Amino acid sequence: MTQRHDNLINGEWLAGTGYAPNLNPSNLADVIGEYAQGDAAQLDAAVRAARAAFPAWATSGIQARFDALDKIGSEILARKEELGTLLAREEGKTRAEGIGEAARAGAIFKFFAGECLRGAGETLPSVRPGIGVEITREPVGVVGLITPWNFPIAIPAWKIAPALAYGNCVVLKPADLVPGCAWALAEIISRSGIPAGVFNLVMGRGSVIGDALVNHPGIDAISFTGSQGVGARIAAACAQNLKKVQLEMGGKNPQVVLDDADLAQAVELSVQSAFYSTGQRCTASSRLIVTEGIYPKFVAAMQERMAKIRVGDALAQGTDIGPVASLSQLEQDLSYIEIGQGEGALLAAGGERLKLATDGYYMTPALFSESSQDMRINREEIFGPVASIIRVKDYEAALACANDTPFGLSAGIATSSLKYATHFKRHSQAGMVMVNLPTAGVDYHVPFGGRKGSSYGPREQGRYAQEFFTTVKTAYTLA
Ligand code: NAP
């Protein structure tokens, strides 16, 4: 009998109206557990509990908040191997990547524990004599957090930690596909000393729980990470209800490779950011934009490097790339192989479904060459281990191509030229720019986010998180 995992509402573990199995995408015979499916009534109870807990938590001492967040961070770090293994088992990234993500979640809680103590305001003179002006930050209220499946512990952590640190109460709805890490995190939070109702977990479908959360009158703000289509609908609903909203969405991130790049370095960082974590990162490079002098060598070196990539069970030693997270995502990835070939791109490597010892969603990472910027494979987010190479004449053409996208999350350049690196940093229309580094892989203490169709609202992470999770008050006092 598989273990059942309930929702956390007002400090109590409550059964769902049903349960859904959480399957290992490396081995579909492996059922990780059964996870509660909530309904609108449970969501309503969670929001009411958060509202009731808010006045006390908003004015609680900063020491109490520090202690709780620091304790959560310490436990995650102490259990990073166990949590990383659970993550790899339910999402399909390798165990090493899973442990790295769990460690990141722990570090995020530690960082925001410190933020509890660093809360600062400003005191300014008034333009009117004898009056003082104070500018302070206060919590927004009860925040609804909606998270995707590809970072099942880090993304919940980078929304929950700042929300709690700045004095908000939380209702989390994690992705239905991977509730295991969110549940484990909720269980740790439930023992951290924070009062009942401050943090609530309601699992279930986006169309049921997510929709009810976005439209609930007791919610003051929504922080969402996921696809552009769902994000746009959430933004419209929040505008209608005058809720604060923050959206982190997709990407079609360019990796420029110039003639003067170190070839081995350019290949390594392209492989890392296009295919590791099975290409299922919003910051993954899916367009490799290569100037014509290095193009033939780059294509050949990529093919040689990709032949060495080991696709396998996420928990097995030696696996470089685990399975795709779900059947629908696998079908989408494979459909883009057909679309690319139909558009006239050349399949230079991979792109096939793999049958391994266990029944899982395996495919070989795919690389197109001879592709052009107007093809669907270069305009639409695929969100799998599929990348394409676009040949361009020179740096100016590469920059124009890199910016020619409705997205703007991350962009990279491989070059030994300070002139081009500096120009690219200034003129790339992305929120995050990398020089001789993969487009994926960022620090936890600095802002994260993009431009254009990739992001909407204030940045996440680092001190910049306070823009979303606090509201500013300006107070005037007659001396
Ligand atoms: P998704 O389908 O948009 O789902 C994201 C979350 O929204 C899930 O929890 C989902 O619930 C929920 N949801 C679905 N319909 C909803 C509705 N009508 N109302 C409220 N919530 C709803 O995205 P995904 O497939 O999980 O994640 C992949 C996407 O996330 C990619 O586009 C990727 O680029 C993006 N992403 C962006 C970042 C970033 O920081 N920019 C980071 C990671 C991922 P259920 O799944 O449970 O139904």
Instruction: Express each pLDDT in 19-72 by its tens digit.
Output: 999 999 999 999 999 999 999 999 999 999 999 999 999 999 999 999 999 999
Neighbours of 207 (CB within 10 A): 10
Listed residue (385, 193, 201) closest to 279, CA to CA: 385
Of the two residues 2 and 175, the one the predictor is more confident about is 175
pLDDT value at residue 433: 98
The β-bridge relationship of strands 18-24 and 27-37 is: antiparallel
Residue 321 Cα to ligand 1 midpoint, Å, equals 22
- Report phi then psi at 144, rounded to 5: -100, 130
Catalytic residue among 116, 169, 238, 282: 282
Name the 3-class secondary structure at 352.
coil
Q: Could you tell me the CA-to-CA distances from 220 to 47, 214, 246, 439 in Å, in that order? A: 10, 9, 12, 33
Residue 248 annotated as catalytic: yes
Cα–Cα distance, 439 to 281 (Å, whole number): 10
Task: Identify each DSSP E strand in 346-464 by its residue range.
Answer: 346-349, 353-354, 362-363, 366-371, 386-392, 410-414, 432-435, 455-456
Instruction: Express each pLDDT in 176-194 by its tens digit.
Output: 999 999 999 999 999 999 9
Cα–Cα distance, 11 to 46 (Å, whole number): 10
In short, whether 205's Cβ falls inside 6 Å of ligand 1 is yes
The β-bridge relationship of strands 362-363 and 455-456 is: unpaired
Q: How crowded is the C-beta side of 45, counted as CA atoms within 13 Å?
A: 17
Cα–Cα distance, 280 to 175 (Å, whole number): 14
Q: Which residue has the tokens 């059922």?
A: 31
In short, whether 249's Cβ falls inside 6 Å of ligand 1 is yes
Judged against a pLDDT cut of 90, whether residue 217 lies above it is answered with yes
CB-based contacts of 400: which residues, under 8 Å, 6+ apart? none
In short, whether 246's Cβ falls inside 6 Å of ligand 1 is no
pLDDT value at residue 1: 65
Ligand 1 atom at minimum distance from 329 CA = 25
pLDDT value at residue 269: 97
Cα–Cα distance, 344 to 185 (Å, whole number): 46
Tokens of 207: 């169309």
Cα–Cα distance, 215 to 241 (Å, whole number): 7
Domains of the chain: 4-249+454-478 (3.40.605.10), 253-435 (3.40.309.10)
Instruction: Express each pLDDT in 282-333 by its tens digit.
Output: 999 999 999 999 999 999 999 999 999 999 999 999 999 999 999 999 999 9
Would you report the helix, strand and coil content of the chain in percent, each value rounded to 5?
40, 25, 35
Judged against a pLDDT cut of 80, whether residue 460 lies above it is answered with yes
- Residue with CA closest to ligand 1 atom 32: 227
pLDDT value at residue 120: 81
Q: What's the whole-number average pLDDT of the chain?
A: 97
Residue 282 annotated as catalytic: yes
Judged against a pLDDT cut of 90, whether residue 2 lies above it is answered with no
CB-based contacts of 261: which residues, under 8 Å, 6+ apart? 294, 414, 415, 416, 436
